[in-house]
Chains A and B, each alone.
Chain A
Amino acid sequence: MEVLYSPPETLIRTSTHYCPGCGHGIVQRLIAEIIDEWGIRGKTIGLAPVGCAVLAYNYLDIDMSEAAHGRPPAVATGIKRVHPDKLVFSYQGDGDLAAIGLAETIHAANRGENITVIFTNNAVYGMTNGQMAPTTLLGQRTLTSPEGRSSSAHGYPLRICELLATVEGSSYLERVSITSPENINKAKEAIKKGFKTQMEKRGFSLIEILCPCPVYWRMGAVESMRFIDEEMTRTYPLGVFKDWEKIAT
């Protein structure tokens, strides 16, 4: 019988701990698909964060390390310097990357550290039950902004791609979403471009992926996808923010 479809080898066949409707499963699967397609399982090293994706190493059949909250870019730096010819990526959420680990993020970018950051932005701290993240939208209700995020009390949503675009050392920055098959394909291409940036030793790449968190957004799965398309992308417009191929040198 002809096999028409099979899940990626690199994706370990197990049930995940992610909530129904969560975006992590989709993103991790995309990573696994790329590793399979390019045949780079033995050349890839991944970093799992602290946060909902803490157990990412249970789902990807590659060498992986955990990193403390906010520190994946520093750990990735240490790994990449030892194995400059391996593909090193960190997988990070918004609390990890944009709050506690912002210094590590900016400085890894500024050093032009040749790593790829997969940044899942779901505008909330999921693992700790739904507190406000640096990327939480204005008006969005969370456990620590029960009346909705207000700029006067909580500051503004932090736009990471825009921020890092001002950092000279960054090479490729793109924001994508996974709200439709078309967007998922685009997200996959973006991750590929990030990996390619690294493999060609072009320096720091970061792919920001707008992800749904139906549980802590208190929405259904479909409604969450619609929320991303209609609300979230107004604060976080999709697109390429920096591309080394388009920068005249």
Chain B
Amino acid sequence: MNGPHDLGGQMGFGPVAPEIDEPVFHADWERRALGVTLASGTLGAWTIDESRHARESLHPATYYSASYYEIWIRALEILLERHGFVSADELAAGHKIWPGVTPQRVLHPGDVAGVLARGGPCNREVEAAPKFAVGDRVRTINEHPSGHTRLPRYARGKSGVIEAVREGFVFPDTNAHGKGEAPQHVYTVCFDGRELWGQGGDPALTVSIDAWESYLERA
């Protein structure tokens, strides 16, 4: 979707303003937000793609005025409600009112280290041979799906060169919507700065994205 999250090349957000002596967390609620978000993910009800889509589906005014942990929590509330774990009246009351659905699993303290150290690999076998090879010239599709996609707007309809052929990976555009993993090969595609940004682009700039095969056409 052409959502507020798709930020590449936008202007007017002000300076980056890196922070001096930045702590890992700025407030205790951020610690809990990280932990609650990660622990809820292990309930097994949604994928990382669905959670990303929930975040980018926040209203733009909300998205741009929220800190990142706030974005996480707002999206988590939506996911928990969508999957029947909590209800709106519970969120309003701040306490359990209904039993809710039973999760696939609950993260126990003793399992945290192992779960984090394993992560969630999303490479998958793809039977078909990769359609493109290193050095091939390709053009990204110019599509504007209303659902989740990982092809950023600034790189749509642009011509570039395949720099690396990756493994097969779960396809976010289907997986985010419960339509299956439908894995595809992923490619690292390089674009010249001026292909992306016109004559004002930095002539010594190369930008790469990692693109699923169906984002690409032979140029």
Pair from one complex: no
